[in-house]
Structure 1
Amino acid sequence: MPDAAHRLEPFTPQTEPAALEDLRTRLRATRWPDAPEDAGWALGTDVGYLRELVDYWADGFDWPAQQQALARLPRFRVRLGGLGIHFVHARAVAPAGPALPLVLNHGWPDSFWRYSKVVPLLTDPGAHGGDPADAFDVVVPDMPGFGYSDRPTGAPLDSIAVAGLWAELMDVLGYPRFGAAGGDIGSHVSRYLALDHPERVVAVHRMDGGLPALAGGAPKPTPEESAWFAEVAAWGAGEGAYGAMHRTKPQTAAVGLTDSPAGLAAWIVEKLRAWSDCGGDVERSFTKDEILTNVMIYWLTGTIGSSMRMYHANAAIPPAQLTRRVEVPSGFSLFGGDILSPPRAWLERTTNLVHLSEPARGGHFAPFEEPERYAEELRAFFRPYRAAATGRGGRYSTGR
C-alpha cells in the first residue's frame, strides 16, 4: 500500500463557468490571418477549416459532457519527485488469472487522452471480444508539464527522468514487475524504463524506433537503414519546424499559444491531421468533439508551454544514452499511417527484437484512432510475459 508520502488522491477536475465564458469570448474575438487562395493545408493549418472548428468550439462544443465522459476513468494524483502527478489507474475486471500491470506512455500533443478509448479494452477484454486471461491493470500517467500533472517550475524533465518517476509510481501502486508501452515521446520513456529498470520491466512495446543515433564503432548501416536515415532527414527539413521551435525557443511560441485558443488549436490540429491515418481529412480519424477535448485539456491546464519544454530537455540527453541497446524483450507495432517507420534492421540493431507487426490501418495516434487493433497488438505481444510479471510460482502483491 502507498506510504504517507505517496498518498493517492482521487481526482475529478471541475471547470468553473467563468473559465468557459472567458474561452468563448476569446474564440469569438479571434483575429484571423489572411491566407493565399486555395492554400488548404499546404502552408500549415487550413484557416478555413480552423474557422469552422473555432465556431463550433465557441457555440456547439459541450465540454461538460466530454469532461464527464473522461471522469469514467478512475483517476488519481500523487506526489512524486516533488510534483503532483495525475494518472489513470484502472484495474482488470474479472480477470481469468492474475492481471498484467501495464504502464502506457503518451506523447505530444496529447496526454492520458491518447489512451482513453483503449483502457476498457485492456482491463476487460472478455467484454470486448477478447480472452479474459489477457486482462491488464492499466496505469496511464500524464507526464510532468502535460495534462493534469504539475508543471515543473525549474528545469524541464527529460524522458530519462520521467521513466524514473514512473518506476517509482509503479512501486507505489504495488507492482514490482510490469510491462511498458508507448508512442512518440512515450516510446522514449518506455525505452528508458527498459534500459534503467530491466529487473522490473518484463517486456516493452513501442510504436516507433526513435530517431537515428549510432555509437562510435557501430557496424555500418545497412542499405535499408541508410535509406531510412535519409527519409528522417528529409522529413525533418519539410515537417520538423515545430520540433526545432520546441527544442530551441519554446517560450516564444508558448506566449501566443497560451493566450489564443484559436492559435493553440491551430498548433495541435495540424499535427493530428498530418500524423494520423486520415487521408488528409482529419475528421476521418477524430471528430470535432475529440479534437477539441484534446485541445481543451491543454487550454484549461495551461500546459502547452511546459509540454514543449520537454523537447528542450530531451535535446540535451547525452549521445551515449541515445545509443544504448535495449536488452529487455521488445516488440513493435508499426502502423501503416504513421510517420518514419524504421526498417527491421534498425530495430534489431537497437533492441532485443522479439515481435514486429505492421498493421495496415492507424497512424501516430493509433490507440485513439484504432483502439481495438491497438488493444489486440498489446494482448498478443505481452501474452508470453504474463507469468514473469504476475508472480505465478512466486509472491506478487498488487496492493489491493
Structure 2
Amino acid sequence: MTDHSFRISVPDAVLANLRRRLEGARWPASLNAASWEDGASVLFMQRLVDHWLHHFDWRVQEERLNSLPNRMMTVHRQDVHFVHQLGAGPSPMPLILTHGWPGSYVEFERLIPLLADPGANGGDPADAFNVVVPSLPGYGFSPAPHHPGVSSREIAILWHDLMTGLGYSRFGAQGGDIGAGVSTWLARMFPDAVSGIHLNYIPGSFRPPAGGSAAPISTEEQAFLDTRASWSAQEGAYAALQGTKPQTLSFALTDSPVGLAAWITEKVRAWSDCDGDIESVIPLDTLLTDISLYWFSDSLTTSLRLYKENRLRPLAFEPGERVTPPLGVALFPRELPMPPRSWLERVFDVQRWTTMPKGGHFAALEQPKLLADDIRAFFRPLRSRSA
C-alpha cells in the first residue's frame, strides 16, 4: 500500500449550485421562530444561511485545509483520505485520531499542531506525536464503502492496515463519538498493535458482560443507565431514525443544504458547552466548513448509514473478556450521558480518568488545549511500548 498527496478542489459549478439552492430556500412555519424547543431555530437558521451566502468564503477555507498534509491511500479496495502530520520531537509516537457524526476530520484542525509540535505550543517536545487523522469511509473525502456491513469494527480493521501501511507497527488511538467506537474496536482486535486508547466519549452501544459471574449492577451504574434511557427518550430520535431508516431521511438532507445545516446545527448547539450560544465556542465559519464538507462530498447518506451498521454490530463483550491496552477517559461536563468508571473497568484497564472543567461533545473543537494536555499525559508512560 502506498499513499499519495490529495488536494481539495470543489468545482465552481458545485459552488454555484449551492448558492442557487440557498437563495431559493423555503422556510418552515414556527410557533416561535427564535425558539430551539422544537428543533433548530428558524431565526438562527435564517441568519446562518445569510452568513453562508454573503460572508462565508469556501475558497478561503479550502486553501487553509489544503495547507494540511492531506493524503490518500487505498486499503482493502477502500480509498481513505487522511491528514498525516509528522511530529516535531526526539521520538514522536504514532497516534490515530478518529472523528464522529456530525463531525469530520476538520474538527481536529486546532488539535493537530498541539499534538504534533508540543514544543511550539507550550509543551514538552518529548510528548510529540506523528498524527494521523482519517476521514471515516463515506465521510468527507473518503468515498463510501462499496458494500453493506461496514461498521466501526470494519473501520478499525481499515485503520490498523492504514497505520501498518504508513510503517507504524505500534500506535495509540483517540476518538469521541463514532471515533470512540472505532478506537475501542482497534484495542479489542489488535492489542499487540495498540499501545493505548484515549476516549472523550463512551459509545452508547458499549455493553459490558452481564449476568453469570459478572458483578451486579451498582447503584451508580443503574443511575447512569436510567439517565441514558431518559436522554434517549427525549433526545435520541435522530439516532433511532439514522439507525433504522437512514435512506428516507437522506432524501431531504441530500436535496436541501438548509435542511442539512439545520440537522447538523441543532445537534452541535445541543451537545456543545455553549449555554445556548453556539458562536461562543464554535464560530459560524467553522460550523459552515463542516456542513459544507458534507454537502460538497455528498456524504450525508453514507454518514447516516454508519448508525445502522453499528446498530447491527454493537460493541458487546462476552463474560470474562478483557481489553488489554490501557484506557484513558476525559469527561467533559456537557458531554452526552457518560458511565461511571466502574462500568468501564468491567472490561478495560482504566489508567486515567479526568474530569474536565468545561467542554462538551465536540472536545477537539471546543477545548483543543484541554484535550491535548490530557492526551499527552495519558500516553506519556506508554511511549516505550510504541514504535
Instruction: Name the TM-score, length of structure 1 as normaliser.
Output: 0.93
Contact 1:203 1:330 in 2 (8 A): yes
Alignment of 1:326 onto 2:315 = no
Over 3 Å counting, the alpha-carbon distance change for 1:49 and 1:319 in structure 2 is closer
Alignment of 1:304 onto 2:300 = yes
Measure the CA separation in 1 of the matches of 2:24 and 2:161: 45
Q: Name the % identity.
A: 43
Give unmatched runs, 5+ long, in structure 2.
none
Measure the CA separation in 2 of the matches of 1:277 and 1:151: 31
- How far the C-alpha of 1:214 sits from its partner, in A, is 4.2
Contact 2:34 2:43 in 1 (8 A): no
Measure the CA separation in 2 of the matches of 1:235 and 1:376: 30
Task: Tell me the residue number matched to 1:166.
Answer: 159
Measure the CA separation in 1 of the matches of 2:7 and 2:244: 35
Task: Tell me the residue number matched to 1:223.
Answer: 219
Task: Tell me the residue number matched to 2:340.
Answer: 343
Contact 2:144 2:302 in 1 (8 A): yes
Deviations 1:344-381 (A, max 9, x none): 21122231111100111111111111111111111111
Contact 1:208 1:342 in 2 (8 A): no
* Structure 1 residue ranges (4+ consecutive) displaced by more than 6 angstroms after TM superposition: none
Task: Tell me the residue number matched to 1:234.
Answer: 230
AA aligned opposite 2:360: G
Measure the CA separation in 1 of the matches of 2:172 and 2:50: 42
Deviations 1:132-167 (A, max 9, x none): 100000001111111100111320510110000000
Alignment of 1:264 onto 2:264 = no
AA aligned opposite 1:141: P
AA aligned opposite 1:354: Q
Deviations 1:78-100 (A, max 9, x none): 1112111100100012x1x2110
Task: Tell me the residue number matched to 1:120.
Answer: 113
Contact 1:147 1:298 in 2 (8 A): yes
**Secondary structure of the residue that 2:346 maps to in structure 1?**
helix
Alignment of 1:213 onto 2:213 = no
Over 3 Å counting, the alpha-carbon distance change for 1:319 and 1:24 in structure 2 is closer
Task: Tell me the residue number matched to 1:254.
Answer: 250
- How far the C-alpha of 1:321 sits from its partner, in A, is 4.5
Q: Out of 239, 242, 245, which is 2:241 matched to?
A: 245
Deviations 1:176-231 (A, max 9, x none): 00001100010010001000000010111011222352434222111000000000
Give unmatched runs, 5+ long, in structure 1.
1-5, 391-400
Q: Out of 5, 14, 33, which is 2:9 matched to?
A: 14
Task: Tell me the residue number matched to 2:354.
Answer: 357
Q: Out of 6, 21, 25, which is 1:26 matched to?
A: 21
- How far the C-alpha of 1:60 sits from its partner, in A, is 1.4
Instruction: Name the TM-score, length of structure 2 as normaliser.
Output: 0.96
Task: Tell me the residue number matched to 1:37.
Answer: 32
Alignment of 1:80 onto 2:75 = yes
Measure the CA separation in 1 of the matches of 2:200 and 2:317: 20
Aligned runs of 1:349-388 on 2, under 5 Å?
Answer: 349-388=346-385
